[in-house]
Structure 1
Amino acid sequence: MKIHIKFLELVPARFIVAMMMFFACWVNYMMRVNMSVNIIAMVPGDSRDIAKVQSECEAIVANSSLLNDTSSVSTRPLRQPDGVVTFDWSTQQQAYVLAGYFWGYAITCLVGGTAAERWGPRRVVFITMLVAAVLTTLSPQAARLHYMVLVAVRFVSGLASGFLFPALHALVAHWAPPAEKGRFVSALLGGSIGTAVTWSLTGPLIKSFGWEAAFYVPGAISIFWCVAWWFLVYDSPAQHPRISEEEKVYILEAIGDKVQHSDEFHKIVPPFKSIFTSLPFLAMLVLHYGSNWGLYFCMTAAPKFVSSALGFDLTSTGGLASLPYLARMIFSLIFGAIGDRIVKQNIVSITFMRKFFCLFSHIVPGLLLIALGYTGCAPILSVVLITFSMGSNGASTLTNLVNHQDLAPNFAGTLYGIANGISNSAGFITPLVTAYFTKNGNGFEEWRPVFITGATVYIASAVYFILFGTAETQQWNYVAPQPREDRRKRPSGASSSASTGSTDTTVTIPAKT
């Protein structure tokens, strides 16, 4: 144990915090996205959809062998162990199962940041992720009872998980020096790797053990992660027992007076009126919504598109459908490093950088989705387009995923929570939109409006941010904390802690000039 602790002391504390945030997003997405592939095994599809796709492609006359190559389309039946229970849920019922998680998720995102700023992100993340992990392991039993019971379980799991990302952004505000913020925010895309691993693992698990195992494994991994989180992560450098004095001073001085430095989180009431009347915040919210629309389209619809429209069997679907998320993670690391270099060398203004990289995070992905709607008869090309569309969105580490840190780092969790809560309505809207357009089949004619809708939201949100967004820290970020009540009752007329030389380490936030 002493050797283990000594090793942790040699590793920078902020590196361990960043890695644990990365794996927090990883396990969160394991529990979030497993349903998108599992439901294909829970509700076996109809081979007539693939036959329709093949007949559509055969009707297209083109000279390109790429566009006419349907040899990779497979009509092999879905294989699971004998005796596995399956369900006869309608397309609409499946949409409710997929959307249930996001109904709950959108609600608690709104308050997750404020809860983390009030009680500390370490505690908030531990409790809520543990609840989500337990509910994931109970999902098979819920499905056997009734599909609406499964919807309810997914809804409560979403309620618990909605606290995670706002709480992590509150943690970033206290741990990330400005010159390292791009890399810290890139760690929050660990969900991309979680998605890739989950969807790649799900196919073999289902094939060998049945779809129930695809719930039990992510749930068990998540419970193990919760234990590690509690022992390795702390709310701020001031609270960390193993951080070196040199690293602590470096972080606190680099962040400066934009964030309240304290040995514990105080009861600061966010300036909600100023937030909701701030045009820069609203521009960031719109940009975040556009990004989430594309994100949740790939999360909830991509496995079905790859399986039903492109015709790949389930064991291939998981790996292929996860490629966009893997690309998004890789691109995010590249863009994050570029952004940190720009900040460090002061090449251009932060505002210009945020707006310029909207080209990669939103506009390019939108254009690629439009192209996808017209090249569906080439399965390989379709997968490439989806992959690069999501990969390019990795630039969101320099746009919507970090802009709230610019506007008000003191309330980064609250701002991200509000934006993510509203934007996550896309999580339950996109399955319903997809179900509406594909209710009569899964041919390319049915999928094309889905792609065009996503592209429109992507591009329009970027244009709005370019016109009205900014990276300037807002005046309402500088709000002094409310005085705390002493644990011991003061005598009447006693002076405040500031005048009596109290050892409280809180730094009063000066007004911005």
Structure 2
Amino acid sequence: MPEKVSDREGTNYNKGDEQIEVPGYGKRHIQAVLLFILIAVSTALRSSMTITILAMTESTSPYDHKIYNWDKQIHGFIMSSTFWGDVIVQGIAGHIANKYGSKNVLTVCIFITGLLMMSTPWFAELAGWKGVCLCTSLQGSCQGFITPCLQMLIGRWAPVNERTRFAMFIYSGMYGALIITPPIAAYICNSFLGWPWSYYIFGSQSFVGGLLWIYFGATSPSHHKTISIKERTFIEKDLDQTNDVILKTPWKSIFKSIPFFALVVTQCGCIWGFTVIYTETPTYFKLALGMDLEKSGLMTSLAYLMALFMSYATSFTTDYLLSRKYLSLTSVRKLCNTIGSWCPAVCMLLVTYVPIEYTSLSVGILIIMVGLDAVNSCGFLINSVDLAPNFAGVLVGVASIFSSLVSLLAPIATGLFVKDPHDKSQWRYVYVLSAGMYFFGNLIYIIFGSGETQPWNKPKAEKLDDEPELSKELMQMESKK
């Protein structure tokens, strides 16, 4: 029998033979706000780099700030270096977070990332572009832990029937940061403060977010000191959070899985396209189309505002299609992935053929392209949970190893193709290649992808006898009160 679940907080719903009371606003909502802030801060650090590096190499300010004579190939190496660390840590991030606590790991990474960000001008002065690459690659290593930590925290704090809204709210912090960061970074770089202060200001945000997380965050409901017994009971029973079962990871089945192979391929294709949009498009509009830095930043913000709108619109639309059973889960995933891959691919091809004098048309195409890419939020981005809810973190980690390599290679390839960033014809090769990656990745997903839970999601489990029961812990908490 399907479980009867209420969408209204403060009511009851049945889980199996047990009735669970749904508490209203509580500590889980505070955790969501904190994680929204942390992912926004993390995204702002990387997003500001695309504008600040451009200001370091091109004279865009009326004030006398130091300019470095770095060509487009070096620029590509610097932008790709932010992804070098991701490749290294993806395989171990989840294990370390699970061993030492996701709160502790996330705290350390946020503080170190902020310190490195604020140190970038000093690295540039000391060792030039190589120093900047070293600094940004270390930042990438720290930020490589953030997504696995977020996934673990969402899994431990978000009740089943609140999970979609919970996760969507948290990850909307990424788009929020992408909307406001470019114009702020451009304004700082063009002001009397200059580009060094872009690093100082955005880096300092990490310390603010980190302090909030230290004081109010927790790894799980059982680690939170002030959570009510009612809310903790609700979350732990709803999620069956009993740490008395260890599931053995079915590595052989994972690597033999055709749907997982399709997921990895389409993720690599989409990440290549998104990386080019994210890291290279501001440069294309600034140098190839002659748009000034502040307008380029504003244009980028409008594009991500469209992405934020499309991600929410898509989530509600897909929920409607599934609830009414108009489409199967597999069909919904493939439909969203196709819209989020092939439509941006067409836009990439169009934007390079628009004459320079029609800059507004190019901007419009870019905004549509970024918005359509966000439809992937209901495609491959959550497909790992469909395939294996028990091992979604493992699947994300394995797939991210390959997609991180792609993120690293995309800016380098741009530097190889674009010798003169002012020559629009050279940029055409970059966008044609990216469109091809989008197209091929989604084609494989259409043929071999799936939204069905795989048989290897439930391997044999091992029972542990030394774990305390929830009821005993709650009785101890009650007696202390």
SS in 2 for 1:440: coil
Task: Identify if the C-alpha distance between structure 1 residues 78 and 359 changes in structure 2 by more than 3 Å, giving closer, same or farther.
Answer: same
Whichever residue aligns with residue 373 of structure 1, its letter is T
The equivalent of 1:223 in structure 2 is 207
Task: Identify if the C-alpha distance between structure 1 residues 395 and 179 changes in structure 2 by more than 3 Å, giving closer, same or farther.
Answer: farther
Whichever residue aligns with residue 34 of structure 1, its letter is S
Whichever residue aligns with residue 41 of structure 1, its letter is A
Deviations along 1:238-288, one digit per CA (max 9) or x if unpaired, are 4444445554455455546xxxx2469x87663333222222222111222
Q: 1:344 offset after TM fit, Å? A: 4.7
Aligned partners of 2:327, 2:218: CA distance in 1, in Å?
A: 34
Aligned partners of 2:324, 2:98: CA distance in 1, in Å?
A: 32
Aligned partners of 2:160, 2:280: CA distance in 1, in Å?
A: 36
Whichever residue aligns with residue 137 of structure 1, its letter is M
Which residue, out of 377, 382, 386, partners 1:397?
Answer: 377
Aligned partners of 1:441, 1:253: CA distance in 2, in Å?
A: 57
The equivalent of 2:361 in structure 1 is 381
Aligned partners of 2:315, 2:115: CA distance in 1, in Å?
A: 34
The equivalent of 1:34 in structure 2 is 48
Task: Identify if the C-alpha distance between structure 1 residues 294 and 250 changes in structure 2 by more than 3 Å, giving closer, same or farther.
Answer: farther
Q: 1:447 offset after TM fit, Å? A: 1.3
Residues 93, 144 of structure 2: 8 Å contact kept: yes
The equivalent of 1:199 in structure 2 is 182
The answer to whether the aligner puts 1:453 opposite 2:433 as a matched pair is yes
The answer to whether the aligner puts 1:162 opposite 2:144 as a matched pair is yes
The answer to whether the aligner puts 1:357 opposite 2:336 as a matched pair is yes
Alignment of 1:81-100 (within 5 A): 81-82=63-64, 84-100=65-81
Aligned partners of 2:138, 2:159: CA distance in 1, in Å?
A: 35
The equivalent of 1:417 in structure 2 is 397
Q: 1:223 offset after TM fit, Å? A: 1.2
Alignment of 1:125-274 (within 5 A): 125-146=106-127, 147-186=129-168, 187-208=170-191, 209-252=193-236, 254-255=238-239, 261-262=241-242, 270-274=249-253
The equivalent of 2:259 in structure 1 is 280
TM-score by length of 1: 0.80
Choose 398-407 or 105-114, whichever is displaced more: 105-114
Q: 1:438 offset after TM fit, Å? A: 1.4
SS in 2 for 1:370: helix
Residues 52, 198 of structure 2: 8 Å contact kept: yes
Alignment of 1:286-325 (within 5 A): 286-325=265-304
The structure carrying a bigger helix percent of its residues is 2
SS in 2 for 1:452: helix
Task: Identify if the C-alpha distance between structure 1 residues 230 and 376 changes in structure 2 by more than 3 Å, giving closer, same or farther.
Answer: farther
Choose 337-346 or 382-391, whichever is displaced more: 337-346
Aligned partners of 2:62, 2:461: CA distance in 1, in Å?
A: 58
SS in 1 for 2:377: helix
Residues 72, 420 of structure 2: 8 Å contact kept: no
Which residue, out of 293, 312, 328, partners 1:333?
Answer: 312
Residues 96, 151 of structure 1: 8 Å contact kept: yes
Aligned partners of 1:505, 1:384: CA distance in 2, in Å?
A: 58
Task: Identify if the C-alpha distance between structure 1 residues 111 and 135 changes in structure 2 by more than 3 Å, giving closer, same or farther.
Answer: same
Q: 1:178 offset after TM fit, Å? A: 4.3
The equivalent of 1:442 in structure 2 is 422
Q: 1:80 offset after TM fit, Å? A: 4.6
Q: 1:467 offset after TM fit, Å? A: 1.5
Deviations along 1:25-62, one digit per CA (max 9) or x if unpaired, are 21111111222111111112xxxxxxxxxxxxxxxxxx
Whichever residue aligns with residue 178 of structure 2, its letter is T
Q: Which runs of 5+ in 2 are unaligned?
A: 1-22, 473-481
Q: 1:127 offset after TM fit, Å? A: 1.4
Aligned partners of 2:137, 2:432: CA distance in 1, in Å?
A: 29
Residues 43, 89 of structure 1: 8 Å contact kept: yes
Task: Identify if the C-alpha distance between structure 1 residues 175 and 504 changes in structure 2 by more than 3 Å, giving closer, same or farther.
Answer: closer
Choose 159-168 or 276-285, whichever is displaced more: 276-285
Aligned partners of 2:123, 2:133: CA distance in 1, in Å?
A: 9
Task: Identify if the C-alpha distance between structure 1 residues 269 and 217 changes in structure 2 by more than 3 Å, giving closer, same or farther.
Answer: farther
Aligned partners of 2:144, 2:406: CA distance in 1, in Å?
A: 14
Q: Which runs of 5+ in 1 are unaligned?
A: 1-8, 45-76, 485-495, 507-513
Aligned partners of 1:505, 1:129: CA distance in 2, in Å?
A: 35
Whichever residue aligns with residue 432 of structure 2, its letter is I
Q: CA RMSD in A?
A: 2.6
Aligned partners of 2:229, 2:440: CA distance in 1, in Å?
A: 47
Task: Identify if the C-alpha distance between structure 1 residues 304 and 371 changes in structure 2 by more than 3 Å, giving closer, same or farther.
Answer: same
Residues 345, 434 of structure 2: 8 Å contact kept: yes
Whichever residue aligns with residue 466 of structure 1, its letter is I
The equivalent of 1:371 in structure 2 is 350
Q: 1:413 offset after TM fit, Å? A: 2.1
Whichever residue aligns with residue 202 of structure 1, its letter is A
Task: Identify if the C-alpha distance between structure 1 residues 30 and 80 changes in structure 2 by more than 3 Å, giving closer, same or farther.
Answer: farther
Percent identity over the alignment is: 27
Task: Identify if the C-alpha distance between structure 1 residues 417 and 284 changes in structure 2 by more than 3 Å, giving closer, same or farther.
Answer: same
Task: Identify if the C-alpha distance between structure 1 residues 389 and 503 changes in structure 2 by more than 3 Å, giving closer, same or farther.
Answer: same
Residues 236, 242 of structure 2: 8 Å contact kept: no
SS in 1 for 2:381: coil
The equivalent of 1:487 in structure 2 is none
Choose 418-427 or 268-277, whichever is displaced more: 268-277
Which residue, out of 391, 397, 407, partners 2:387?
Answer: 407
Aligned partners of 2:220, 2:318: CA distance in 1, in Å?
A: 24
